[in-house]
Every structure is written in structure tokens, then in C-alpha cells.
Amino acid sequence: MSALPSLAPPIHERQPMLVALLRIAALECRAAARLDLGRACAVLDPEAGVAELTALLARVLPQVLRTRPVIHPPGTGARSFDEDWLVALSKAVAAGDRASERFLLRRRCRPAGAAALASVIRALAEREGG
């Protein structure tokens, strides 16, 4: 009797939790109505979980970045430049590296959305680390 092939990607192809959740959220929110960034962050629930924050991130990211983000479908082994950038931003925020955080935000974000995006990433880092 032959063994069934594993559906999980090999360990070296597994994605960070942020990327994995963002890919799922991006699929789910493509049909959702556009979300106003300022309003979304103003009403951000302090008790929101990682799934809710990731869904918020997926919905506002196209408004914040200067170019449309490339988010690969779940199960894709490689990461896009945008996914790598988000991982780097998340690591900078989690490490308290404000210089890297500012640099990453200024290079890719519209000025009006950078602070809001940083707030969402910071909230995600707090939930993942806590």
C-alpha cells in the first residue's frame, strides 16, 4: 500500500504566519466592499484578534501602498516582494527598530497611510508575540 502524498509544503517552503494569514484574508476580501483606511483604524477594536487584523490589513493595503500589492495564493512556495516587505516591516516593528520601520514605510507607502499601516502591523506583532 502506498503512502498518500503530503499536502503540507516542505518546511523550507512554509511561510511566516503573517504571510500565510494574509494570503487567506486577501482571497476572502477580494469581493468585499472597499474599506476607508482612516475609519477602519479609528474604530480598530483593541481586542481584535490576529484573523481580524490580518483581514483589515488585506483590505487596506491596496490603499496604503503606492503600487497594487502582489499577494500570492495560499500554498505558493515563493514570496512576492510585497510579502517580503511586510515580513521585514513586521520584524522591525516587533524588534522596536523604529529607524527600519520608518525607512520601510517611507519607501512604499503613501504618506497619509503609513501611520495607519504601522498601527495595524504593531497590533499584529503584539498579538503574535503575546
> Does residue 3 belong to any structural domain of this protein?
no
> Does residue 9 belong to any structural domain of this protein?
no
pLDDT of residue 3: 53
> Do 83 and 71 touch, CB atoms closer than 8 A?
yes
CB half-sphere exposure, 75, CA atoms < 13 A: 4
**CA-to-CA distance for 23 and 86, rounded, in angstroms?**
12
The candidate with the shortest Cα–Cα distance to 20, out of 67, 64, 83, is 83
> Do 69 and 77 touch, CB atoms closer than 8 A?
no
> Does residue 1 belong to any structural domain of this protein?
no
> Do 23 and 76 touch, CB atoms closer than 8 A?
yes
CA angle 73, 27, 40 (to 5 degrees): 130
Residues facing residue 65 across a β-bridge: 109
> Does residue 6 belong to any structural domain of this protein?
no
Count of structural domains, the chain: 1
Q: What range does the domain containing 104 cover?
A: 16-129
* pTM of the complete model: 0.79
Residue by residue, pLDDT tens for the chain (130 residues) are 455 444 444 444 568 888 999 999 888 776 665 666 666 665 567 778 888 888 888 888 888 899 999 999 998 889 999 999 999 999 999 999 999 999 999 999 998 889 888 888 988 888 876 5
> Does residue 5 belong to any structural domain of this protein?
no
pLDDT of residue 103: 97
Q: To 10 degrees, the CA torsion angle through 121, 122, 123, 125?
A: 90
pLDDT of residue 7: 47
The candidate with the shortest Cα–Cα distance to 40, out of 127, 120, 125, is 120
